[in-house]
Structure 1
């Protein structure tokens, strides 16, 4: 199998981008194509966050996957990582067992 991964830095992520991305990714000729789009802010937040992590001798991907569960789902780092993992097919992450907060506590916060 052959893959092409296109990296596209954008000013901001908008709905009007998606038709172009779909046009590229769904083109059936030759090989599978992925478009990984991101903003400079997402990249900077992700890099800063990664530099702050302590790997303790583990692979960086394992460290990132363990640490990401403690971030807000809407954070720049999570958005960047989620999109990266979905667009780069040769990453084969093994996600650690998630730690579920107390359900009553989650409901009371809402």
Structure 2
């Protein structure tokens, strides 16, 4: 299964980026890995990696190897893994969280997507604007659309994109919740339990948000 690093890089380039430049895409045929790097003018390095077999652990190992070879400073290095999946489910989120929560060596982001999302985006990209007006695009405002999921996830997972979110009219919380419940195993009782858990953590201790998130993740993984 061919990786889509070139297509994803082209999608990223349509947005306004922080000042910097791209290196050429390097292909490691033996490992089935494609690699490029975006170097910001402020010294930050952004490693983009995609793998034909879509193995996050192997991509992480390769990113660490390239970072050492390039003598990148860990505090100024970010790895963005291009992770194509057949479907997005609970196992996908577990894989992504396991990589992103491990901040050893450098900061990591996993841009995960499906072929259907990429195909929908490619069909519509020539009709879209990639400045602030994108948030008014009906395809992006529809959070259930494949294009919206692809674009919003790309912006969130790619720190070199300069574009900021602007205020939007959102569906009511109850409608969004009901839509999510229709395609999820989650229950209202479970959501209420999580709400109470987070509220108690913030109220009864001096934990910061990152520690609360870590505590929540550990609680979920123990189940």
- With normalisation by structure 2, the TM-score equals 0.38
Higher RCO structure (Cα 8 Å, ≥6 apart): 1
In structure 2, C-alpha distance between the alignment counterparts of 1:52 and 1:18, rounded to whole Å: 31
- Which of 142, 155, 162 in structure 2 is aligned with 1:92? 162
Q: CA RMSD in A?
A: 2.5
User: What residue number does 1:37 align with?
Assistant: 112
Q: Tell me whether 1:19 sits opposite 2:94 in the alignment.
A: yes
Q: Residue 80 of structure 1 is aligned with which of 130, 141, 150?
A: 150
Q: 1:70/1:87 Cα in 2 relative to 1: closer, same or farther (>3 Å)? A: closer
Structure 1: runs of 5+ lacking an equivalent: 101-110
Per-residue Cα deviation, 1:20-74 (whole angstroms, up to 9, x for no partner): 1111111121110011100011011112121123x5xxxx343433325764210
Please give the TM-score of this superposition, normalised by the length of structure 1.
0.72
SS at match of 1:30: coil
- Counterpart-to-counterpart distance in 2, 1:18 and 1:35: 10
Structure 2 counterpart of 1:3: 78
Q: Distance in 1 between matches of 2:157 and 2:140?
A: 22
Q: Which runs of 4+ in 1 moved over 2 A?
A: 60-66, 68-71, 94-100
